[in-house]
Chains A and B, each alone.
Chain A
């Protein structure tokens, strides 16, 4: 069989390789979903991949560190492991060349990814295990916020934001 690779030069979609697939509810479909999410390193850049791995591991550390209720001294909820897995998967899907964020715990139990560049602006994503909420403010006066279901790809609106405002030069 001939192999025909379609070269996609659109930075918002070029990273998209194997789609997760259609909705399934069986145990077998969930097993495949979990395996694919762990096995999808989109980058051939080994340095970028190493940095991503570090960030993914940092989220594991956050889960361990903030596993008790009231970790902020008040009423903070323990970090949600589904939200953590979702954030880790998102990090693996980030387009090549995008600056990596900082991972932070949120008192609601969600994981936050934050980009904060003085020369560009500010973007926060929060993961609750099902969807991504985002809020941004940039130095050019642009503000965006929204919420998108997160199934198998970085939502297009977010991919565009990241590629415009948070790329390595």
Chain B
């Protein structure tokens, strides 16, 4: 939409989670302990640790029937949270993620911290290949009205005929687009949010922008790809909001 600028958006923006996600493969011999050891380098800012578990069992066969099973637990990775529980970094055996929850400040602060944490991850672990890059922004629009016309607020929405004596009580609208120029995919989802106070309408507007890659290491190419994802995300946000939604947030 013409004339819409990020500078017009009131602070804080309606973003409830921004995620920078990198899926990759590490050398096979990488252990969860090596991943966990990275906590020492960030625990001043991210003191809270949560384990993401994997579970393995061995099933032995006797004449085609399972007779016994041994089980042992493993670990997929770790989440590290800051004290305020607004920032979470995930160091995993299959990837890296950084999340900023509400209130989101701006791209610069988000990306600088993501890069700082990524540098700790990539400099310590044996990355064999980077397979997917993603930026996901989940917005929660809080509309101070119980009854709304979705077309005033979103361009990605279900279109429903006006049946007599009926109202739309729930929906899940999800589309996937491919931006062919840069081979970037995006999934856009809108749905009513849970725990909406009476008298209001809260709608989740989720944009997941991602690209499959075949990078051998992290370098400037990776970050320039993230810049492209960011531009697409902004385009979708700007054009995905209807007139009333834009007025609400500016």
Residues of A near B59 (CB, < 8 A) are 124, 135, 145
A28 contacts B71, C-beta separation under 8 Å:
no
Q: Does A35 contact B (CB under 8 A)?
A: yes
B53 contacts A28, C-beta separation under 8 Å:
no
A28 contacts B206, C-beta separation under 8 Å:
yes
A28 with B55, Cβ < 8 A, contacts A18-B174, A21-B187, A23-B97 known: no
A28 with B99, Cβ < 8 A, contacts A19-B187, A21-B187, A130-B54 known: no
Q: Does A78 contact B (CB under 8 A)?
A: no
A135 with B206, Cβ < 8 A, contacts A26-B101, A130-B53 known: no
Interface membership of chain A positions 105-123, coded 1 if the CB is closer than 8 angstroms to chain B and 0 otherwise:
0001010000010000110
* Partner-binding segment picked from B13-21, B25-33, B214-222: B13-21
Is the contact region of chain A dominated by helix, strand, or loop, or is it mixed?
Answer: mixed
Residues of B near A116 (CB, < 8 A) are 64
A22 contacts B210, C-beta separation under 8 Å:
yes
User: Complex formed: what's the CA distance from A18 to B176 in Å?
Assistant: 7
Interface membership of chain A positions 129-157, coded 1 if the CB is closer than 8 angstroms to chain B and 0 otherwise:
01101010100000001010100000000
Most-contacted residue by chain B among A23, A122, A137 (CB, 10 A) = A23
A130 contacts B206, C-beta separation under 8 Å:
no
Residues of B near A124 (CB, < 8 A) are 59, 66
Q: Does B39 contact A (CB under 8 A)?
A: no
User: Complex formed: what's the CA distance from A104 to B52 in Å?
Assistant: 26
Residues of A near B99 (CB, < 8 A) are 23-26
How many of A's residues come within 8 Å of B, CB to CB? 33
Interface residues of A in 26-57 (CB under 8 A from B): 26-29, 31-32, 35-36, 39
A149 with B136, Cβ < 8 A, contacts A22-B210, A36-B174, A131-B76 known: no
Known pairs A32-B204, A133-B56. 5 more at Cβ < 8 A? A21-B187, A21-B206, A122-B64, A135-B59, A149-B76
Interface residues of B (CB under 8 A from A): 16-17, 19, 21, 52-59, 61, 64-66, 69, 71, 74, 76, 79, 88, 90, 94-95, 97, 99, 101, 134-136, 138, 140, 172, 174, 176, 178, 187, 189, 191, 193-195, 204, 206, 208, 210
Going nearest first, the 8 A-B pairs with the smallest beta carbon separation are A26-B17, A135-B59, A128-B55, A22-B134, A22-B21, A22-B136, A21-B208, A23-B97
- 28 residue pairs of the A-B complex, CB under 8 angstroms, read A18-B174, A22-B19, A22-B21, A22-B135, A23-B95, A23-B99, A24-B99, A24-B138, A25-B17, A25-B79, A25-B88, A26-B99, A28-B16, A28-B138, A28-B140, A28-B193, A29-B17, A29-B136, A31-B194, A32-B191, A108-B69, A110-B55, A124-B66, A130-B55, A133-B55, A135-B66, A145-B59, A147-B54
